[in-house]
Structure 1
Amino acid sequence: MDINDNIESPLNVKISFNKLLKQYETLALSTDPFLASKANGVLDVAKQYPELRDGFSRVSSIKEREKEIAFILQDTFSPLLTHNEIKTASAPFNDVIFNASERFKNIIKTAGDGFQLQMKNMPHDDIYVGACTIILGFCHGFNINFKRPFYYEIPDVNGIMRYYKILYNADFCEITPGENAPKITQADYDELLDNFDNIALWKEKFPPNSYTFKGFVISNIFDVTDDQSISNIKSSLISKDKRKQNSFVEGFQDIFSSLFGIKDLKVGFSIYNKEEDVFERIYGSGMHSYLLGKKTTKQCTNALCKWSYDKLLKEYKHFSVSDVDKMFELSQGKAPHIASLHEQGVKSAIFAPIANDKGLMGIIEIVSTKKQVLNSVNANKLEDVLPYIVSAAERNIEEEANLIEAIIQKECTSIHPSVHWRFVKEAKNFIKSEMLGEQAAFKKIAFENIYPLYGQIDIKGSSEARNEATKQDLALQLSAAKTIFEYAVKIEPLPIYDQFIFQIDEFLLALNVHFQVDSEQQISTFFKNDIDSALKHLYVIDELKPHLDLYFETLDDKLGMLYNHRKQYDNTVTLINKDMASLLDKKQKDAQRMYPHYFERFKTDGVEHNMYIGESITKEDSFNPIYLYNLRLWQLQVMCEMENDFYQKQHKFPVALDVASMVLVFSQPLTISFRMDEKQFDVDGTYNARYEIVKKRVDKAFIKGTSERVTQKGKISIVYSQKQDELEYLRYIKFLQAKHYVDTDEEIVELEDLQSVTGLKAIRVSILYHRSEKDKAFYTYNDLMKEIKA
């Protein structure tokens, strides 16, 4: 077997000691008789075996000349240092080692039978290019700095990974070009400098086996486990989102195991919450805290004894517990951190503060199931890595603060994606101004010449429905209290009970005759100030206790009032809003794909939505009125679908309510700007404000000459003021009639004048419904109600 087999390289490698022997030839001429004698002895051996100078590549030759090679290399591999130095002699970029120090042999032996020595961080193509760069320097005078640190990873007797750095000595190498080696010019060199990853080009300039290598390399190897462990810790801490990965904690523990030389070592963390003086668990895959155990938070004073509390939180110094069981006995289990470690089977531990000049940020906990392996001596190894852990903690705290702020922005004051680009642009300008030392100001964000669309699906008669629910709750509570006082006056005839009965009757009469806005407040105050204390007093009467218990059990804990019908109403409104908003949001994703536009919605007694579309929002020269017309038609379709969805689910709601839909058409483009104080967009200018006035009042408008509201259950109302709008929407209605979204009973009505707004009209048309998603029949609202009740 040849050492060049299965290795693609521009070098045809021959192991040779020619350059080394030439140095011995010089030493043989020395005036020092000892040096000359030793050199002649080496040369005499070499003369007997010419292949040692000429070179050989067969692996069997290495075995055959093992003793001679060892003798020739005796000066470079001193027997006196063989158990201390980690050293090998080998072919370059090759795992064939023909001489090694005893310490290296022991390291490989300890690694186990199945271990294969392999250089880390050296991809196959990089080896080829590395050999080419050596040729450029040796043969062509082009020196390229391709030096990189190379490592071996070798497990020790305990299975802990140790890291060894390799430094090459190439003093005894000779490289000569072969007959097929292309000539390398300055132009070739320039081209290669810009094409490191183009392996085909390197092979073109340096074909495989086109150069002959004669000699050997000496590898001086150093144990850099501590340095590499620290580097690995830095890399792990720098990597983003690592703590979400399952492998992070295991990898981190392996790194600390290498640093401390302890196989079963585990690492835990606790966050310090200064505001509440508590330790908190870090959330992440596999994250654990040995201070907290199974708890998610713990008061610092309950997690540590006074001495350890002062050490970590006041002095910012680490401490160790070398024998947990012994300390548990000495403290009689009263030291909280010792008790926690003992309960989790920990035998030795180190606690170290993660702190900066602003104070404590957290605790790193290093533990082992073996006693005394962690102690006050090796605890000092943490001093080398704590600065990086502190930096990572500072960065994580900042990132978490930014994440919290981002979530708040998203969930509470979200910026719609369609306009987000403009906020990013202004934020960059703001940062740029600050960096240049200028007066930074966040400029006004406005979008001009955009078209508005507004729609709402309102719960019909919501005020009346809530008033009715309120009346029922109040009447039931008043009647229940009256019954108790009627019992009480028979047992304990006090005039005050008659007074309460009289007042209750007055309130009941008022509820039935003329319920007013402040009636609920008046009755609530009556119960709070007068009735509640009186009823609690009646607990002294044993016969009344069952009635009183039943009464108080029916009251809401927070309100202290009967909250039954009102709760059903409120729950119904919440469910209606949630379902309609969810459907609208889902449909909006399709609309955005058609053409980007601004969208926002609000939950009130129903769901309202605003949309704005135009060139200035999209930032692209692509807007065409066709996209506006498309969005208007899409809006009508979706509102019909939302009504259908509502009535298909109406039977599931606690209270049977109806809804009414309306669309407001505004043909003139307007300007909207972001109000920083209100964190929302609003229209700009006096003329544009007319749109907002109409939007807020039109759903309450009456049809001219009648007392009928423009919005009506079972119909969609399209409010407009321009003739071209009327013609446009009649075309949409005709299309929707063909698609069975709406009926054929469209009508045009005039509206009563609103404040500062005249000339409004509305197209009203009945929506067609399905009883369920699978039902293919079409129903008007009245037909649907008959079907449902049938």
Structure 2
Amino acid sequence: MDINDNIESPIEVKISFNKLLNKYENLIEDDNDYIVANARRVLKIAKKNPILRDGFSDFKTFKTHEKEINGILQDTFSPILTKNEIKTASIPYHHYTFNSSERFKNILKTAGDDFELEMKNMPDDQRYIITCAIILNVCYGYNINFKRPFYYEIPDANGIMRYYKILYNADFTEISPKENAPKITQEDYNELLDNFENIELWKEKFPPQSYMFKGFVISNIFDVTDDQSISNIKSSLIGEKKRKDESFMDGFQEIFQSLFGLKNIRVGFSIYNAEEDVFERVYGVGMNSFLLNDLESKNCSDALCKWSYNKLLLENEYFSVSDVDKSFKRSKGKAPHILVLRDQGFKSAIFAPIANDDGLMGILEIVSKEPKILNSINANKLVDVMPFIVTAVERSKNDESNLIEAIIQKECTSIHSSVHWRFKKEARSFIKDQMNGKKASFNKIAFENIYPLYGQIDIKGSSEARNWATQQDLSMQLNAVKRILQNASKIEVLPIYEQYIYQINDYLEAIEAHFQVDSEHQISEFIKNDIEPILKHLYIVDDLKEQIDVYFKRVDDRTDALYHHRKHYDDTISLINKEMASLLDQKQEKAQLMYPHYYERFKTDGVEHNMYIGESITKEDSFNPIYLYNLRLWQLQVMVEMENAYYQMKSDFPVALDVASMILVFNQPLSISFRMDEKQFDVDGTYNARYEIVKKRVDKAFVKGTEERVTQKGKISIVYSQKEDEREYLRYVKFLQAKKYLGDDVEIVELQDLQAVTGLKAIRVNVLYHKDKDDKAFYTYDDLMKEIKA
């Protein structure tokens, strides 16, 4: 078998000791008799075995000339140092070694029979290209700095991964081109400099085995486990994607195991919340806190004893617990951190503060279930890694702060992604002025010539429904109090009970006859100021205790009111808003892909939404009216889908309510600006304000000459003022009728004049519904109600 078999390389390899032997020939003239005698010994071996100078590539020669090769390499592999030095004789960038020190042999033996020696940091493609770079240096004189650190990863007897750096001594190598080797020109060289990753190009310039390599290399190998572990910790903490990976903590544990040379240790973290003086769990896959155990957070004074508290939080110094059981006895089980370690079965530990100039940020926790193996001596290994951990935690806290701000911005302000670019632009300008010492001010954010779209799905009769719920709750509460007072008057005949019963009856009649807005407040004050003191007095009466307990259990602690029907109403409104807003948001994501536009929505008694589309928002010279028409059709279709979704889930809501949908069409472009004080966009100018007036009042508008609201359950109302809008939306209606979204009941009505707004009209068209998602039949609103009740 030949060394070159199954290896693609630009060189053909021959092991030769020619250059080494040449060194010995020079030593013949040395003044030292011992050196001369040794040189003659080596040269005598070479003379009797010319193949060792000429070179060979078959593996059999290593066996047949093993003794002679060892004799030639005796000085290089000194018997005195063989058990200390880690050294091999080999071919560069290959795994095969033909001579090695005893220490290297023992390292491989400890790794196990199934361990395969492999050089890390050397992909196969790069091995070919780096060999070509060596040829450029040696044969053509180009000074290319291609050196990179190469190393082996070899497990020790305990399974701990150890790292060995390889340094090559290439003094005994020679490379020469064969007859078939293409000559490399300056032009070739220039081309190769810009194409390191193009393996095919390198193979074209340096065909496989087109150069002859004669010689061997000495690999001087050094155990750099500590340095590499520190480097691995650094790279792990720097790589944000690595830290989010599920296997991150497993790999991190292994790195610390290598650093300490201990297999059975685990690493955990806890974050210090300075505002509340508590330790908190770090969230992430595989993250543990051995100080907190199963808790999410814990007061620092409850997690540590006074001494350990001062050590970590005030002095910012690490400490070790080498024997948990011994410390537990010494502290009589009163030291919280010792107790929590003992409860988890840990026998030794190191706690290290993660702190910067501003103070403590968190705790690094290293634990083991073996006593003594973690102690104050090996705790010093943390000195070199803590700066990287501190930096990573600082960055993580900044990232968290930025994320919190981003969430607040997303959830609590109206800076939509479509206009975010403009805010970034102004922010950069603001920072630039600050850096240049100018008076910095955040310029007005405005967008001109944009088209508005507005729609709402409104809960019909929400005020009446809440009033009814309030009436029912107040009536139930008054009757419950009345029954207690009636029973009390039987036990203790006092005229005051009769007077309160009379007053309760008066309130009950008023609620039934004409419930008013202030009735709720009057009754609540009566119960709180007059009735509750009496109930507390009556609680001493055994026969009334149970009845009074039942009453107070039904009363809400915050409001002192019975909150039953109103809770059902509030829960229904909340669920409707949540479901409708969620559906609209999901649909909006797809609409943004059609053409970017501004979008915001609000939850009231239903869900409203604003959209603005135009050139000034998209920042690109791409806007066309077709995108406006497309968004209008999309909006109409989505409103129908929201109506369907609502009635399909209506039966799941605590209170049965109806909804009505409306779209407002405004065909003239307008301007909007961001109001810094209210953190939202609003229209600019007197003319544009007309649009806002219509938005706020139109859903309460009546059809002209009637007491009928323009919005009706089971119908979509499209409000507009221009004839071209009417023609446009009638086309959309016809299209959606063909798709079975809308029914055939279409009417055009005039609206009564609003304040400062006249001439409004509305297209009203009935919606077609499905009973559920899988239902293929279509129903009008009345048909749907009959089907649902059937």
> For this structure pair, what is the TM-score category when the shorter chain's length is used for normalisation?
over 0.9
Aligned to 1:610: 610
Change in CA separation of 1:186 and 1:565 when aligned onto 2, cut-off 3 Å? same
Aligned to 1:365: 365
Aligned to 2:92: 92
Amino acid at match of 1:27: L
Q: Is the 8 A contact 2:748 2:761 kept in 1?
A: yes
Q: Is the 8 A contact 2:303 2:336 kept in 1?
A: yes
Paired residues for 1:563-602 under 5 Å: 563-602=563-602
Aligned to 1:381: 381
Change in CA separation of 1:646 and 1:211 when aligned onto 2, cut-off 3 Å? closer
Paired residues for 1:61-140 under 5 Å: 61-140=61-140
Q: In the TM superposition, what whole-angstrom CA distance separates every residue of 1:709-766 from its partner, at most 9, and x where no partner exists?
A: 2223333322222232233333334444444444444333333222222222233334
Which segment is superposed worse, 432-441 or 609-618? 432-441
Distance, in Å, in 1 between the alignment partners of 2:365 and 2:779 is 69
Paired residues for 1:551-562 under 5 Å: 551-562=551-562
Q: In the TM superposition, what whole-angstrom CA distance separates every residue of 1:585-627 from its partner, at most 9, and x where no partner exists?
A: 3333443343332222222112212122222223333333233
Which segment is superposed worse, 59-68 or 253-262? 59-68
Q: Is the 8 A contact 1:226 1:259 kept in 2?
A: yes
Corresponding residue SS for 2:695: helix
Amino acid at match of 1:668: Q
1:139, CA displacement in angstroms? 1.7
Amino acid at match of 1:454: Y
1:384, CA displacement in angstroms? 0.8
Aligned to 2:289: 289
Change in CA separation of 1:114 and 1:605 when aligned onto 2, cut-off 3 Å? same
Distance, in Å, in 1 between the alignment partners of 2:575 and 2:199 is 64
Amino acid at match of 2:413: T
Aligned to 1:50: 50
Paired residues for 1:306-455 under 5 Å: 306-455=306-455
| Paired residue total | 790
Amino acid at match of 1:505: N
Which segment is superposed worse, 487-496 or 10-19? 487-496
Aligned to 2:499: 499
Corresponding residue SS for 1:703: coil
Aligned to 1:757: 757
Distance, in Å, in 2 between the alignment partners of 1:72 and 1:194 is 43
Aligned to 2:644: 644
Distance, in Å, in 1 between the alignment partners of 2:39 and 2:355 is 62
Amino acid at match of 1:342: R
Aligned to 1:679: 679
Pairing 1:280–2:272 present: no
Corresponding residue SS for 1:558: coil
Which segment is superposed worse, 53-62 or 526-535? 53-62
Aligned to 2:541: 541
Percent identical across equivalent pairs? Answer: 73
1:272, CA displacement in angstroms? 1.2
Distance, in Å, in 1 between the alignment partners of 2:778 and 2:35 is 112
Aligned to 1:27: 27
Corresponding residue SS for 1:716: strand
Change in CA separation of 1:160 and 1:519 when aligned onto 2, cut-off 3 Å? same
Change in CA separation of 1:165 and 1:689 when aligned onto 2, cut-off 3 Å? same
Distance, in Å, in 2 between the alignment partners of 1:493 and 1:713 is 55
Q: In the TM superposition, what whole-angstrom CA distance separates every residue of 1:248-278 from its partner, at most 9, and x where no partner exists?
A: 1121111111111111121111111112222
1:283, CA displacement in angstroms? 1.2
1:317, CA displacement in angstroms? 1.1
Distance, in Å, in 2 between the alignment partners of 1:773 and 1:154 is 60
TM-score normalised by length of structure 1: 0.95
RMSD: 2.2
Distance, in Å, in 2 between the alignment partners of 1:107 and 1:766 is 83
Corresponding residue SS for 1:246: coil
Paired residues for 1:169-188 under 5 Å: 169-188=169-188
Aligned to 1:300: 300
Distance, in Å, in 2 between the alignment partners of 1:775 and 1:114 is 63
Q: In the TM superposition, what whole-angstrom CA distance separates every residue of 1:197-255 from its partner, at most 9, and x where no partner exists?
A: 12222222222222222222111111111111110110111111434333211211111
Change in CA separation of 1:57 and 1:772 when aligned onto 2, cut-off 3 Å? closer
Change in CA separation of 1:696 and 1:166 when aligned onto 2, cut-off 3 Å? same
Aligned to 2:526: 526
Distance, in Å, in 1 between the alignment partners of 2:269 and 2:780 is 64
Change in CA separation of 1:255 and 1:593 when aligned onto 2, cut-off 3 Å? closer
Which segment is superposed worse, 606-615 or 744-753? 744-753
Corresponding residue SS for 1:540: coil
Pairing 1:141–2:118 present: no
Change in CA separation of 1:87 and 1:520 when aligned onto 2, cut-off 3 Å? same
Distance, in Å, in 2 between the alignment partners of 1:461 and 1:376 is 73
Q: Is the 8 A contact 1:133 1:143 kept in 2?
A: no
Amino acid at match of 1:678: E
Which segment is superposed worse, 407-416 or 131-140? 407-416
Distance, in Å, in 1 between the alignment partners of 2:348 and 2:99 is 43
Which segment is superposed worse, 777-786 or 163-172? 777-786
Amino acid at match of 2:525: T
Aligned to 2:226: 226
Pairing 1:269–2:262 present: no
Unaligned runs of 5+ in 1: none
Change in CA separation of 1:763 and 1:6 when aligned onto 2, cut-off 3 Å? closer
Change in CA separation of 1:605 and 1:73 when aligned onto 2, cut-off 3 Å? same
Q: In the TM superposition, what whole-angstrom CA distance separates every residue of 1:120-141 from its partner, at most 9, and x where no partner exists?
A: 1111222222222222222211
Change in CA separation of 1:23 and 1:672 when aligned onto 2, cut-off 3 Å? same
Distance, in Å, in 1 between the alignment partners of 2:734 and 2:53 is 100
Change in CA separation of 1:444 and 1:59 when aligned onto 2, cut-off 3 Å? same
Aligned to 2:37: 37
Which segment is superposed worse, 425-434 or 328-337? 425-434
Corresponding residue SS for 1:705: coil
Aligned to 1:692: 692
Which segment is superposed worse, 219-228 or 700-709? 700-709
1:153, CA displacement in angstroms? 1.2
Amino acid at match of 2:723: K
Distance, in Å, in 2 between the alignment partners of 1:771 and 1:153 is 65
Distance, in Å, in 1 between the alignment partners of 2:112 and 2:740 is 79
1:481, CA displacement in angstroms? 1.5
Distance, in Å, in 1 between the alignment partners of 2:786 and 2:203 is 85
Unaligned runs of 5+ in 2: none
Aligned to 1:193: 193
Q: Is the 8 A contact 1:243 1:285 kept in 2?
A: no
Q: Is the 8 A contact 2:575 2:653 kept in 1?
A: yes
Q: Is the 8 A contact 1:745 1:766 kept in 2?
A: yes
1:771, CA displacement in angstroms? 4.2
Which segment is superposed worse, 685-694 or 416-425? 416-425
Amino acid at match of 2:596: P
Change in CA separation of 1:467 and 1:53 when aligned onto 2, cut-off 3 Å? same
Aligned to 2:719: 719
Which segment is superposed worse, 669-678 or 704-713? 704-713
Q: Is the 8 A contact 2:236 2:243 kept in 1?
A: no
Pairing 1:654–2:654 present: yes
Amino acid at match of 1:333: G
Aligned to 1:17: 17
Distance, in Å, in 1 between the alignment partners of 2:198 and 2:222 is 33
Paired residues for 1:613-632 under 5 Å: 613-632=613-632
Amino acid at match of 1:416: H
Distance, in Å, in 1 between the alignment partners of 2:84 and 2:23 is 26
Distance, in Å, in 1 between the alignment partners of 2:226 and 2:293 is 30
Distance, in Å, in 2 between the alignment partners of 1:126 and 1:588 is 48
